[in-house]
Amino acid sequence: MAPDNHIDDPDQIPESHAEAEERIKQDAIADGQLPDDAADDDDRVDPDAPGAGDVVFSDAAAADEESSDSQAASTDTQSPDGTANDDTASDEAAADDAAGDDATGDDAPSNEATADIRGPIEDADADDEEITTPPAPEQQRLLAAVIYNPIKVDLEALQNAVEREEQGAGWEETLWFETSVEDPGGDVTKQALEAGATMLIAAGGDGTVRAVAEAMHDSEARLALLPSGTGNLLARNLNLTLDDMSWALNVAFNGTDRPMDIALIDIERENGDVDRAAFLIMAGVGLDAKMLANTDDELKKKVGWLAYVKAIFTALRDKNQLRLRYSVDGNETRSLRAHTIIVGNTGTLQANVLLLPDAVIDDGYFEIVLLRPEGVLGWIQIFVKIIWENGVLRRSKVGRLMMSKEVDALNYVKGRKLVVRFRRPELIELDGDDFGKAAAFNARVRPGGLSVRVPDDAA
C-alpha cells in the first residue's frame, strides 16, 4: 500500500518576488493592459545563463564565473554528497526568475516548479525500514521459489532444469508462482516469502525482476536471475550469462550471495496521491520515458530492443523540455531546464552502451545525468560522449587520457537522494517500464538492500 504522503501544494507556499511580479503581469494581460506575448519577452531566461540555478552540474561553475567579475571563481566539480562550491544567493534569485518561463508554450497546471521542495515528499524516506542482514547460508532453509512470466519461458523445460539443480544441491522441492498482467510479480513474491522461500528466482524480463526485488528487498531472501527478456539489464551489469538456462540455475542453487544497492522512489501523482516503488537499473523522465511510450509492442516482439530505435527518433522530435526544481542529498533546491533527467544504480544499457560511467551497483550512491542539448550540435556532443568516449576510450588507460572535458549538453553528478518537482506532470519510467506521470518524486539509495546470487568467483 502506498504511504499516506503528500507534497505541499505550491500555492500554499509564500510566493517569491519574481512570482509576485509574474502574477501581476498575468493579471494585466488578462485585463488587456499588456499584449499576450509580454510574459515571454520579459521573463525568458537562457538555462545556460549565469545563475540559472543548475549549479550542482558541471557547466554551472563556468556560468557563475562569467556572471560577475567581482565573484570568486567557483569549481565545476561535484562531491559525492551532492554539494558544490558556488555563490548560491544570486543563483537562487535567477532561478526563481527563470522558473516562470514555459519553454513549451503549453499551459501548465498549478503544480509550479517555482515552489520550494517542501513537505513529506522530501522526507518520504523517513519510514523506510531498517536494512535486514540475511543470515548465513548454512542457517537458512533451502527453499527456492520461481517467479516466472509465462510468455517469456518454456515452463516444462524450466521445471525439468530446476528439478535437476535443486536435487543436486540438496534443496527442497521448489515452489512455483506465475505472474500476470494484473500482478507482474509483487504479490506472488510476497506469497512465496510467506510460504518460507529463502531464494526467489526471477524468470522474466527487467519488469519481472524489478517487481520481485521491490517486494522482497530488505527481507532475508536472496534474488536469483534467469534472464528471459529483451533488456536483461541487471544481468548485464552483473556480468551474468544471458542465454544459458542451465548455467543460470546452477548459479542460483550453488552460487554465492552478493549485496547490491536498490533504489526506492516515491512518486507524487497529479492528484496528490503518492505511489512507492523500487528500481534496480534506472529511473528516467524525458527522452527514455517518451521512448517507452512510443515503442510498438508488436515490433518489439519481432526485433527485440531494436524496436526502441524507431521510438527514440519519435521522442527526439518532441521539442518539449522539462522545467524542474531539484535537491541532491538535502542540499539547496535548484531550478533548471533540461531535455531528460535519469538517475541510475547501474550504467550499462543494451548493445553495451555505457550511459552512466560512474554508476556502481554496490557503492551506496546512484549517478544522475542531465541531457541538455541545444540543437543538433548538442546531440552530437551527447552521442560522442556516450558512444565513443564512454563506450570505447574509457575502457583503456590510453583512451582515458584522450577523453574530452565535460560538455554542456551532458552533465553528471552522484548522490544518495534526489528530490524533484516538475513544473507540470511528466512521464516517468522505472527499469524500462512506463510508470505514468509524476508531478514530483523522491528517489534514494538503500545500500546493500538486496542480496543477489552470483558465481563464486564473481562475489
Exposed / middle / buried, residue 12 (Cβ in 10 Å: 0-12, 13-18, 19+): exposed
Looking at residue 288, its pLDDT comes to 61
Looking at residue 67, its pLDDT comes to 37
Cα within 13 Å of Cα(459), Cβ side: 13
d(CA 399, CA 196): 50
For residue 410 the three cell numbers come to 551532458
For residue 309 the three cell numbers come to 530505435
pLDDT top residue among 439 and 316: 439
Q: What's the pLDDT band for 342 if we cut at 50, 70, 90?
A: very high
Query: What's the mean pLDDT in 19-36?
Result: 52
Query: What's the mean pLDDT in 348-356?
Result: 77
pLDDT top residue among 434 and 82: 434
Residue in this structure with the C-alpha cell 549517478, named with its chain if needed: 367
d(CA 73, CA 84): 12
Taken in order of first residue, the domains within the chain and their CATH numbers are 18-32+52-125+261-459 (2.60.200.40), 137-254 (3.40.50.10330)
Length of the chain in terms of residues written: 459
- Determine which of 175-184, 238-247, 342-351, 388-397 has the lowest per-residue pLDDT on average: 388-397
Q: Which of 215, 227, 226, 229 is nearest to 262 (CA)?
A: 215
High-pLDDT (> 90) share of the chain, %: 42
What is the Cα 81 distance to its own chain's centre? 18
d(CA 100, CA 43): 7
Query: What value, to the nearest 5°, has the Cα angle with vertex 440 and ends 435 and 443?
Result: 75
d(CA 153, CA 448): 29
pLDDT digits (tens, 9 = 90+) for 29-61: 555 544 444 444 333 333 333 333 333 444 332
pLDDT digits (tens, 9 = 90+) for 182-192: 999 999 999 99
pLDDT digits (tens, 9 = 90+) for 287-322: 766 555 445 555 445 545 444 454 455 545 556 789
High-pLDDT (> 70) share of the chain, %: 60
